[in-house]
A and B are shown apart, each in its own frame.
Chain A
Amino acid sequence: MTQETSDKIRLEDLSFFFGDFQALDGVTLSIQPNEVFGLMGPSKSGKSTLLRILNRMCDLISGVRVTGGAWLDEEDILAPGYDVVQLRRRVGLVLSRPTPLPRSIYENLTLAPRLAGKKSRGELNDLAETSLRAAQLWDEVKDRLRDSALKLSGGQQQRLCLARTLAMEPEVILLDEPTSGLDPISTAKIEETLLELKNDYTIVLVSNNTKQIARATDRVAFLLMSHIIEIGKTNRVFTVPADQRTDDYISGRFG
């Protein structure tokens, strides 16, 4: 039987070292296009590290070593000389705390697209509006796009960061505990956004919050101390986990 759709992201025997410390050990998984893929596990299990390999933001830390393979659309993203700037435009990242730039809301959204080649005013305006609407922030800021982004509340800033990523029109969106520290309303809005985005993007969601994973993802991988313990459809993993450790984690026996 031929495979109709190929994997969007594929990892094979991926190991990651910070100096002597091994953060990931032999990780193998594949992420399908247009699915919401969750990464769950207790702190320091390697989830954030895994995420940062997917857009090569791991390069920013000194003294790191990667072995194994990682492919985006069958392109080897770990190859030396691979265009990481282009990669990061295709694979966007939203962090666990908001990181607005010291500019206006409008500039936060349009700076990177402008540098990536979009020059016309009209295009940029449309981009700004579309992404703000998608992140459910448009109504709140449409009259003050020239205000400094630093004046927004925490939840608004985080939605701005999501909008900013969307403005780059990526193919994949990585989210590293995007709602930690946010109020329930902002959290709900962001989860709503993720569900709508699924149709156009591939999403990888890292979360410490098992309930969020259960709510928002299609498939999930459970990471424990740098190893993948179990992967599968979220419904299945949460109702009949194959591994005892997964069951323990989901039930809150540790974590």
Chain B
Amino acid sequence: MRLDPHTTQRLVKALLWAFTGFTLLILIFIIVDISIKGLPQVTPGFLSQDSTDMGRAGGIFPTIVATAYITALAILLASPLGVGTAIYLTEYTREGWATRIIRFGAECLAGVPSIILGLFGFVLFVLKLGFGWSVLSGGLTLAIMVLPIIIRTSEEAIKAVPQDYRTACLSLGMSQWQTVTRIVLPSALPGITTGIMLSVGRSLGETAVLLFTAGAALRTPVSLFDSGRTMAVHFYILAREGISMPNAYGTAAVLVISILVINVVAYTLMQRLMRRYS
């Protein structure tokens, strides 16, 4: 049965839009469900109180601290490494075997599943180096996870800086490093910051890596060697052990909202910085 091409097109378009609509519905459903069941839980008390009774009651304050602590450590470690790598790749070398190896390393690293990173972090940081389940182990492993993201986004941002700027600086007798720090990096800052924010968003949702490196202690971590439970890990434990539905939803709501806010902030930050520097 040969269909007239216009009819085919109408049918196909209907099908495609149906699928797209279905996908959007799923997303909306997720956000609505979490909002309806979770937002009522998110009171100032919920956010500032300690967890009691294995999470059945009280708030999620320790997990918020742990999340901030571990994520901050990861970003602090991965940013210089990632931006430095990006600078080296774009400003100090030509395309050759060296750059190809480095890029290959970053790409492969990006593809390593989180459970393997968790295994690695467990054996190296928790066991062999003796850090135990701690903020330190979690932060170090998480840094390795976000490193490829920062490298990729920084490289794109640096490459987007017009070549004319570099030519002008160099012909004025500025050194390569002076050109990079005074002109190139400031111009690339919007893109680099966006990459860092994306890494933060990614870290917030990470569970498999942190469960086996930072552990699941419900206290508020103070030192680098304390164990701590991030919001995502806490949520997983609450959900899996069926400890408390309302608290699980509440934690999920805080998580999803934080990630949403960070993505929105990253986006608007990029827009505003782009306007200021160009």
Contact = CB atoms under 8 A, between A and B. Distances in A.
Contact of B173 (A99, A101, A116): A116
Residue picked from B167, B168, B169, B187, most chain A C-beta under 10 Å: B168
Interface string B158-184: 000000110111111111001000110
A99 B164 contact: yes
Q: Report whether over half of chain B's contact residues are helix, strand or loop; otherwise say mixed.
A: helix
Residue picked from A86, A93, A97, A112, most chain B C-beta under 10 Å: A112
A60 B170 contact: yes
A92 B173 CA distance: 8
B125 to A, nearest CB: 41
B171 A88 contact: yes
B172 A112 contact: yes
Nearest to A61: B94
A218 to B, nearest CB: 24
A102 B187 contact: yes
A148 to B, nearest CB: 10
A133 B257 CA distance: 57
A102 B173 contact: no
A102 B168 contact: no
A57 B178 contact: no
B165 A92 contact: no
Given A99-B165, A111-B182, A168 B277 contact: no
B168 A161 contact: yes
Interface in B264-278: 277-278
A158 interface: no
Contacts of B164: 97, 99
Given A85-B175, A88-B171, A115 B165 contact: no
Interface string A74-97: 000000000001111110110101
Contacts of B175: 85, 115
A168 B173 contact: yes
A60 B178 CA distance: 16
Given A99-B165, A101-B165, A102-B278, A92 B183 contact: no
Contact of A88 (B172, B187, B277): B172
A93 B171 contact: yes
A15 interface: no
B39 to A, nearest CB: 43
Contact of A57 (B170, B174, B187, B277): B170
A165 B178 CA distance: 17
Nearest to B178: A115
Residue picked from B169, B170, B277, most chain A C-beta under 10 Å: B170
Interface in A95-123: 95, 97, 99-102, 111-112, 115-116
A76 to B, nearest CB: 19
Contact of A115 (B168, B171, B174): B174
Nearest to B161: A102
B107 to A, nearest CB: 23
A77 B172 CA distance: 17
A164 interface: yes
A88 B165 contact: no
Contacts of A161: 168
B173 A85 contact: yes
A175 to B, nearest CB: 12
A165 B165 contact: no
Interface string A139-177: 000000000001000000000010011001000000000
Contacts of A57: 167, 170-171
Residue picked from B165, B173, B174, most chain A C-beta under 10 Å: B173
A92 B171 contact: yes
Nearest first, the 3 A-B pairs at minimum CB distance are A89-B173, A112-B172, A88-B173
5 contacts: A60-B170, A85-B174, A99-B164, A102-B187, A161-B168
Given A55-B171, A92-B172, A115-B174, 10 more contacts: A85-B173, A87-B173, A88-B173, A90-B173, A95-B171, A111-B174, A112-B172, A164-B168, A165-B171, A165-B172
